[in-house]
Structure 1
Amino acid sequence: MNGRVIKFEGPVHAEADRLLPWLINGTLDDDERRQVEQHVAECAQCQREVAWLRTLQSQYRDDDADADHVPHAMKRLRHRMGKVGIKRATPASLSSAWRRRGRRLAWLAAAQAAIIFAMGVVLLQDRHAAYHTLSAPASKGSLLVVVFDPRISEAQMRRLVRAGDGRIVGGPTETGAYLLSVPDEQAASSRKMLHDSPSVTMVENLQAGGSP
């Protein structure tokens, strides 16, 4: 190479751009990896995307994040998601912006999934904290991490939790997440009910079978 970084456009660039998340997480096959790496070495735009994705990955891949780090990590993630949602594209960047939008949102969703696990770790730790007011003993069941709409009333929250035959066993965290215990046989239906509710902004099954 002569050290000059050029910017590719067209099918090769579009395909490399689409595969960048899989390059970062190491799941491309050898041929794909070589082709994408070769393109990235010559494409300034893809180099910037790779740097952004690696920064994002490094912030959220630690499954053992502690209680002090998780709320700040979630704030950073939401800030990133907000930037993707509100960034105004110029006419010259519209085509590439639309091409990258789906990939970025998919990567952010994966990053948020990592945060969900970390939030669950924090919530499980909170169950045993001295200041915690919800000190019911652990029981068998599935654990759901739930974030309610900030505008929901306490009565509405209780009705939703009861409708899913669940009980709150942890939370809230700084980010407003609660840990719900539901019977294993109702985990899927409870998650769907909460997911479909406009008063719930996020719900994920942390694990099945109770506390680790």
Structure 2
Amino acid sequence: MEIIDFIVLVVLAAIAVVFCLLPTTVQQWFAAHLSFGHFGIRTIKRRHDQTDTLGNFILFLCLVFCCLYWKIPQYFLLLYTILFGISFLILMSQTYRISQTYSKKKQISLILAIFTMCAIAYCSAIGLLNGHQIMKDLPVFLQSLQKNETSSFFYYVRHYEWVSVILSGLVMFYTFYLVWAQFKYMRLENSFKADNMIFFWIKVIFVSILSIGLGYGGYRIIALAYYL
């Protein structure tokens, strides 16, 4: 583990403590200013249902970023961190909003569950679980693209970097989806996405395993497929 990875883990742990111990007044400020109220919620009369147009639109923008991130190799990781950080703060505002009537123990449990899901997803997306492989593969892919080597069928058979680029984009979008899916559910249902806290933690563990599987296992599969 590199020193920067250790620093990231320490910072994430510190953020978890801070969000759990925020005073009620600060939590209410988050809930009031970053939850967007009912803005973007649209009623579908034909289905007698509601949809979160705002959440869907932002998720679409995240998809565009994850498809095109390789065009900005010097800045994509920083930009991803900023976008994910903002998304996380917005999700936390919803978490504070729906948990204002919960007991302190239940509220902290919900905050820790949300944070655990987001932290593991973030670590997976930035490459902490695979030695930051995308930072090694992306320059090679761009060099091949510049030399027009990608126009040959045999390039895709002999080189794995293009798969790494796709996988990295997939992992990043998965992390955004986790955040904004929770955000939309909390806005529309005024609750977290489970019947009770135990089942919610089970879901968090499951999606976190998927995050680890994509971030670590995905690159192991690439290594096996290309005999690396």
TM-score, structure 1 normalization: 0.29
* RCO higher in structure (CA 8 A, sep ≥6): 2
Higher strand share: 1
More helix by share: 2
Question: What TM-score do you get using the length of structure 2 for normalisation?
Answer: 0.28
